[in-house]
């Protein structure tokens, strides 16, 4: 059992040292198919804002309002983002230092609190975004579903929220 914990500690230490959740490792797809974008957009992946704008057919004024809303929410997420990264690093450090189970559990619990706080911020922002739409736009269940999934991890990048969606998660 001790060898298992050491192996796990080594793996987590490598993840933390490699940048943890702020620099995820992605598998590359080969062949045709996969990836976002395509069709009428020439195969280029779309950013989160472009997807939202296209899916909901936002007006010029709605685009400004939604962009401002997401910019402000991104700035407001800085404290939660920093706490989430620190909690993630604390888990790896506790395991790497071969700390007791109670200390590891405490680090995991703190990480869970921060992940829940980030999820709450993302969903609150989604609700505010949906309030900016006309009833007809809110009735577009496909667009609402897409927006729901686009919100996951939207504020994890400290520099920008409007990127091409990836598998980044917390």
Q: How far is CA 23 from the centre of its chain?
A: 12
| DSSP 8-state symbol, 79 | H
Contact 157, 169 (CB under 8 A): no
Q: Kindly state the helix (H) or strand (E) to which residue 43 belongs, with its residue range.
A: none
Helices 78-96 and 101-131: crossing angle in degrees, nearest 10, is 160
Which pLDDT tens digits describe the chain residue by residue (170 residues)?
Answer: 555 555 555 555 545 444 544 434 334 444 434 444 444 555 678 999 999 999 999 999 999 999 999 999 999 999 999 999 999 999 999 999 999 999 999 999 999 999 999 999 999 999 999 999 999 999 999 999 999 999 999 999 999 999 888 777 77
CA–CA distance, 108 with 91 (Å, rounded to integer)? 6
What's the pLDDT at 167? 74
Contacts of 39 (CB under 8 A, 6+ apart): none
What's the pLDDT at 2? 58
Pure H helices in 41-77: 48-56, 60-76
Q: How many CB atoms lie within 10 A of CB 79?
A: 11
Q: Which of 129, 110, 119, 95 minimizes the C-alpha distance to 4? A: 95
**Domains in the chain, please, with CATH?**
2-18+47-151 (1.20.120.1490)
Pure H helices in 57-134: 60-76, 78-96, 101-131
Q: How many CB atoms lie within 10 A of CB 82?
A: 12
What's the pLDDT at 67? 97
Contact 71, 157 (CB under 8 A): no
pTM: 0.71
Instruction: Please report, for the chain, how many H helices and E strands are present, in that order.
Output: 7, 0
């Amino acid at each position: 059992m001790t060898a298992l914990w050491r192996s796990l500690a080594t793996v987590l230490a490598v993840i933390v040292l490699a940048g943890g959740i702020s620099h995820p490792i992605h598998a590359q797809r080969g062949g045709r198919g996969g990836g976002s974008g395509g069709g009428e957009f020439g195969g280029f992946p779309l950013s989160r804002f472009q997807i939202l704008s296209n899916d909901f057919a936002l007006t010029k004024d709605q685009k400004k309002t939604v962009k401002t809303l997401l910019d402000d929410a991104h700035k407001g997420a800085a404290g939660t983002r920093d706490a989430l990264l620190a909690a993630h690093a604390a888990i790896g450090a506790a395991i790497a230092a071969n700390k007791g189970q109670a200390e590891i559990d405490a680090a995991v619990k703190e990480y869970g609190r921060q992940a829940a706080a980030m999820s709450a911020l993302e969903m609150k922002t989604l609700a505010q975004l949906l309030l900016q739409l006309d009833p007809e736009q809110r009735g577009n269940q496909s667009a609402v579903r897409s927006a729901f999934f686009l919100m996951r991890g939207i504020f994890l990048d400290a520099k920008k929220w409007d990127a091409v969606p990836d598998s980044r998660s917390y």
